[in-house]
Amino acid sequence: MGVTTDQALTTRSGIELAAAIAQGEISALEAVEAHIARIEQVNPAINAVVVKRYDAARAEACAADERHARGEPLGPLGGVPVTIKESLDLAGTPTTFGLPSRANTPMTSDDVYVARLRAAGAIILGKTNVSQLLIYTEADNPVYGRTNNPWNLERSPGGSSGGQGAIIAAGASPLGLGTDIGGSIRVPAAFCGIAGLRPTAGRTPDAPSFGLMSGQRAIVSQVGALARTVADVALTTEIINGGRNPQSEPPMPLGDYTSVDVAKLRVAYYTDDGSFPVAASVRRAVVEAAGALAGRGAQVTEWRPPEIETVMRIFFGVLSADGGKGAIEALGKDARDKRVASLLLLATAPRPLLAALAGALRLGGQRNLPRLMGYFGYKDTDHYWKLIEAQMAYLKRFAHALDTDDGGPFDVIISPAWALPAIPHGATQDLVTAGAYAIIHNVTGYPAGVVPVTRVRPEDEQPRKAGADSMQKAARRTEMGSAGLPVGVQVTARPWREHMALAAMQAIEEAMRSHEDYPTIAPL
């Protein structure tokens, strides 16, 4: 065995680690020990890994090394240490969703996607932090506390897969699994400077043993990969898909992203969808990513998605259609995170009260919060059905725009993943509508990924105009002092064409990686 430093191991991708183990350059145990040491180094500052299984991981690594010594194949991730989101079942560990009442109940079996990851040879070091009930874009809950962004400890890593984003960005895990119903993979990827992919709705459906809104099928959570490289995201996506051509559900084959000719892609891009003005750094990142694809020969056209207000009305209306009953039942007597409590106030309030409050807020100079209130308060089956009809109609309009707008038909869309770089802790409830850039593809169900592009430069900290609107004030606070934070872009493809998105992501990664301000491993 060659002598390799811990840092040399923890900066490698999952694919590189698997190759080194397969070639006998390092052992699986060395890889596991290096990443355990890195977790122990960074976790006191960021609190990302909240359930540790070090002894089991060491035993599994030794078993992998023994199999390798006998000449047995180890799988595409053989011996590679990884992490998974806390909400995914792992036998012998609790799945709390941030609920104290679930903290002492270990699961008896693995989630299907966790099982596929382990069958590919991956060794799970632990589980990573989430938002309570997975319903806000931070990673903080009454069970495990708050996760900090490794690029700036006063900032959030996003959510709900925020712990996963933070530990990968810190170089303590090369890759792992998250879930996404409203940006929960893509926002942490963007905030933490890593890559991630939410597959097409229906490819990797998240079916937890416990969860919120699992019965509604209009906007569904998907399990997906986060990693520091697009190649690792692509491999992990293939693994959880059940292979390139799966023999069981889901039935859809996964295309080969390495066979896509980027020069033949038709690319739409936009920096503003009309929902929330983006930060200068985010706008720059989108333009640079689009330019990188143009530099590879792709046809790139500025574009704008139709009717973003309709998207927001559908998203918030569908997920609050039960008037918050599911969340209240799930919480029971457990302590409620303040962000959950705020969302429940909107979900449970009657529409006349919300209308009155919205009117008063408008008189006080508020614009965004009254608009948000208008999406809530419907608690009847008739309105829910109308929302589903609106969703189906929007899908037709969206596809028609991609097909017929100038520059189309488009294969790929480049856009912001969120309107701002990583937000200060606690700012979620003041910036809800900044997330429309991600939630549009939870409504459409299109596959959407994030790839890092740049970091915020001092000149990007352009102060927004002062005003009474609370969300714009929060955006102003977020942008100030954001220099150095990573910025990613969202890359979206047509349904079942994840390989198109991954090919574009890979091209952007290759073009931007040599730049001085490209995010690598957070300097903790």
* Residues labelled as active-site residues: 85, 160, 184
DSSP, collapsed to helix, strand or coil, labels residue 339 as helix
Nearest 5°: phi and psi at 478?
-65, -45
Reference 27, options 57, 53, 66; nearest CA is 66
Distance CA 463, CA 118 (A): 47
Cis, peptide link before residue 458, omega less than 30° from 0: no
**Cα 113 to the chain's mean position, in Å?**
16
Strands 175-180, 145-146: pairing kind: unpaired
Task: Say how far apart CA 150 and CA 165 lie, in whole Å.
Answer: 9
Q: What distance in Å separates the CA atoms of residue 180 and residue 450, rounded to the nearest whole number?
A: 12
3-state secondary structure (DSSP) of residue 160: coil
SS3 for 53? Answer: coil
> What is the number of residues in the chain?
524
CA dist list (Å): 20 to 16, 58, 60, 230: 6, 18, 17, 19
- Is residue 441 within a helix (H) or strand (E), and if so which, with residue range? helix 436-444
Count of CB atoms within 10 A of residue 60's CB? 21
CA of residue 338 relative to chain centroid, distance: 22
**Amino acid, single-letter form, for residue 42:** V
User: Is 3 in contact with 25 (CB distance < 8 Å)?
Assistant: no
Percent helix, strand and coil across the chain, each to the nearest 5: 45, 15, 45
Q: What single letter denotes the amino acid at residue 484? A: G
* 250 phi/psi in degrees, rounded to 5: -75, 150
Rounded to whole angstroms, the Cα distance separating 415 from 287 reads 9
Q: How far apart are CA 51 and CA 324, in angstroms?
A: 29
Contact present, 16 and 62 (Cβ < 8 Å): no
The residues that bridge with 487 in the sheet, in sequence order, are 454
